[in-house]
Amino acid sequence: MVYRIARSALFLLPPETAHALTLDAVRLRGKLIRPPTRTAAPPVSVMGLSFANRIGLAAGFDKNGVAVDGWFSLGFGHVEVGTVTPKPQPGNPRPRVYRLPEAGAIINRMGFPNDGAERVTARLRLRRNPGVVGVNIGKNAATPLDRAIDDYLICLRTVFTVADYITVNVSSPNTVGLRSLQGAEQLAPLLSAVVEEAHALQMHHGKRVPVVVKISPDLAADELREIAKVAASVPVDGIIATNTTISRDAVATHALAQQTGGLSGRPLLAKSCAAVRILRATLGSRMPIIGVGGVASADDAQLLRQAGADLVQAYTGMVYRGPRLVRELADALRV
Ligand SMILES: Cc1cc2nc3c(=O)[nH]c(=O)nc-3n(C[C@H](O)[C@H](O)[C@H](O)COP(=O)(O)O)c2cc1C
Strands 132-137 and 105-108: unpaired
What pLDDT was estimated at residue 74?
Answer: 94
Cα Rg, the chain, nearest whole Å: 18
What is the secondary structure of 71-106 as a DSSP string?
HHHTT-SEEEEEEE-SS-B--SPSP-EEEEGGGTEE
Nearest to 50 by CA among 61, 60, 39: 39
pLDDT tens track for 158-180 = 999 999 999 999 988 999 888 98
What pLDDT was estimated at residue 41?
Answer: 79
Mind telling me the catalytic residues? 172
Q: Which segments in the chain show pLDDT lower than 50?
A: none
What pLDDT was estimated at residue 176?
Answer: 86
What pLDDT was estimated at residue 168?
Answer: 97
The span from the CA of 82 to the CA of 10, in Å, is: 23
Strands 165-169 and 132-137: parallel
What is the secondary structure of 112-172 as a DSSP string?
--B--HHHHHHHHTT----SEEEEEE---TTS-GGGHHHHHHHHHHHHGGG-SEEEEE---
What pLDDT was estimated at residue 39?
Answer: 63
Strands 289-292 and 311-314: parallel
What pLDDT was estimated at residue 37?
Answer: 56
The span from the CA of 234 to the CA of 230, in Å, is: 6
Atom of ligand 1 nearest to the CA of 15: 1
The span from the CA of 21 to the CA of 15, in Å, is: 10
What pLDDT was estimated at residue 182?
Answer: 81
The span from the CA of 300 to the CA of 181, in Å, is: 29
- For the chain, give the number of residues: 335
Q: Is 108 in the pocket of ligand 1 (CB under 6 A)?
A: yes
CB contact at 8 A, 103 and 316: no
Rounded to the nearest angstrom, the distance between the alpha carbon of 193 and the centre of ligand 1 is: 25
What pLDDT was estimated at residue 18?
Answer: 87
Out of 55, 264, 318, give the residue to mutate to test ligand 1, the one with the largest number of ligand atoms within 8 Å of its CB: 264
Rounded to the nearest angstrom, the distance between the alpha carbon of 130 and the centre of ligand 1 is: 24
Residue nearest to atom 5 of ligand 1 (CA): 60
Residue nearest to atom 21 of ligand 1 (CA): 264
Q: Is 136 in the pocket of ligand 1 (CB under 6 A)?
A: yes
What pLDDT was estimated at residue 19?
Answer: 93
Strand partners, 107: 98, 263
What pLDDT was estimated at residue 2?
Answer: 78
Sign of CA dihedral 151, 154, 160, 163: negative
